[in-house]
Amino acid sequence: MNRIARFFESTRRHFEKGGKLEKLWPFYESIESVFFAPARVSQVAPNTRDNLDVKRYMMLVIVALLPHYAFGVYNVGYQSHLASGLGTNFWPVIWTGLKAVVPIVVVVYVVGFAWETLFAAIRKHEMSEGVLVTCALLPLTLPPTIPLWQAALGISFGLVIGKEIFGGTGRNFLNPALTGRAFLYFAYPAQNSGDAIWTVLSGARTAAVDAFSGATPLSIAAVTGPSGSIQTAFSDAGYSTAKLFFGLYPGSIGGTATFLSIAGAAFLIILGIANYRIILGCILGLLCSGLLLNLISAEGSAPYLSLNPLQHLIIGGSMFAFAYMATDPVSAAHMQGARWVFGFGIGALTVLIRVYNPAFPEGVGLAVLFMNLFAPLLDHIEIKFRLRKRIPNV
């Protein structure tokens, strides 16, 4: 402990006023305060303050995301070995996964921190921890084959356009990680859509082995024609319910693991970080609109309409987005009632986009962004109703 404390004591002067690196003070402060909470006391009432700060709040989200990274590394390696016709022993698979995932994460964090430091230095305030979560979320939504420069561009767009130009964490109205993801999707469709992008090929291979299809459940569901059946298509491709639930299939780096998302959501709800109203609202909205489509599907309509709503919940990244993206407190609705509506809207739109817009196999990201836009309106309506009940005091 002493050595670390001494390291900070000796380096601090370079970053303090008058030091060579004084402009980088926010960067230094953000690192130091992770190791040692700053010595700062209350100047005005209340004299005592809660132990919770934004750092802890955001750190807990990252803790919830760590299992997704572990899963993501394994899954990326596993799919890669399957597609390349290699064995699936544990350590080689992990090694392949690490080789694919770590560079993306490193690039995203380095670029993200650079932007955040720049804006914090110009605005002369401390770095906000929101960037840590954004940088942790974005790679989990990316395909493992993404070129690193695109990952850098994605986090840049997400942070700068999605957040910083509005004033930084707390003043953004869109989820920054999803903004970056959506930008990549629309700007570089070749590297961000289709079936081939979800699997990293090992060695010198340019195509997967014949036995490996690489098709994601979402794309299978979307392309199944009126004469076919999704259930048959799923079982032909080897997608049992258990496989869909555990997420061990080609997909974004860590977003397919529905079971981890449910565990993470429970973790964050118990700790009071994520709001259960949003998550339950999402699930409810998804099930309701899935059910509605079941009801209106007739003979000859696309089989996607009659997909079991529960299957909508476990395929793709819907649960991941519900647990970690929709619950971003800043861009979500702020009022308790509005949070239900906000969540419900996300769930319902997810199904509608998936089923009616085959150009976007995974609709949940766009659904979250779309509802982000409506969150202030929902809040406004609820506040108006609430204020009406008050006995005026002026």
Partner 1 sequence: MKTIRVKKGYNPKVIGSPSTESLKAAQPTRLALVPEHIPFMKLRLKVRKGDRIALGSPLVEDKRNTNIQLLAPGSGRVADIRFGPRRVIQEIIIQLDENQKTVEFQSYSQKDIDKMSRDALVQTLVTGGVWPLIKELPFRDYARPDFVPPLLFVSLGSLEPFHPAPQVYLRGNEDLFNFGVSVLNKLAEGRVYVCSHRADTELASSLNGLVNLTYTGNYPAHDPGVLLYHVKSSPAENRSWFVDGQDVVSIARLLRNGVYPTERVVSLGGSGAPQPKHLITRMGAPLSVLADDQTENETWRYIQGGILTGCGALARSHLGFSESALNLLPEGNHKGELLGLFNPGYRKPSFSRAFLSAMNREELMMDCSMHGGERACIACGYCALVCPVDILPQFTYKAILAGEVEESLEHGLLDCVECALCSYVCPSKIELFETLKNAKAEFYKEKEQDH
DSSP class per residue in 338-354: HHHHHHHHHHHHHHHHH
Q: ∠ at Cα 138 (187, 70), nearest 5°?
A: 135
Q: Does 11 bind partner 1 (CB under 8 A)?
A: no
Nearest distance from C-beta of residue 187 to partner 1, angstroms: 29
Q: Would you count residue 385 as binding partner 1 (CB under 8 A)?
A: no
Q: Is 329 in the site for partner 1 (CB under 8 A)?
A: yes
Query: Quick one: 13 or 49, whose CB is closer to partner 1?
Result: 49
Span interacting with partner 1, options 56-64, 189-197, 214-222, 366-374, rule CB under 8 A? 56-64
The correct pick among 80, 117, 169, 258 for binding partner 1 (CB under 8 A) is 169
Cα dihedral sign, 174-177-183-185 = negative
- DSSP label at 317? T
Using the rule CB under 8 A, is 14 a contact of partner 1? no
Q: Is 10 in the site for partner 1 (CB under 8 A)?
A: no
387 near partner 1 (CB under 8 A): yes
Do 123 and 149 contact (CB within 8 A), yes or no? no
Nearest to 326 by CA among 347, 297, 311, 305: 347
The reply on whether position 38 binds partner 1 by CB under 8 A is yes
Number of neighbouring beta carbons within 10 Å of residue 310 = 15
Nearer to partner 1, 130 or 363 (CB): 130
390: left (phi over 0), alpha (psi -120 to 50) or beta: beta
Q: Does 383 sit near partner 1 (CB under 8 A)?
A: yes
Q: Does 33 bind partner 1 (CB under 8 A)?
A: yes
195 lies in the binding site for partner 1 (CB under 8 A): no
39 binds partner 1 (CB under 8 A): yes
CA 346 to CA 332: how far, in whole Å? 11
CA–CA dist 82, 164 (Å, integer): 41
Residue 90 contacts by C-beta under 8 Å, 6 or more apart in sequence? none
Chain centroid, CA 356 distance in Å = 23
The answer to whether 270 contacts partner 1 (rule: CB under 8 A) is yes
- Interface residue with partner 1 among 99, 126, 191, 266 (CB under 8 A) is 126
Q: Please report, as ranges, the residues that interact with partner 1 according to CB under 8 A.
A: 1, 4-5, 29, 33-42, 44-57, 59-60, 125-126, 128-130, 167-171, 270-273, 275, 329-330, 332, 334-336, 383, 386-387, 390-394
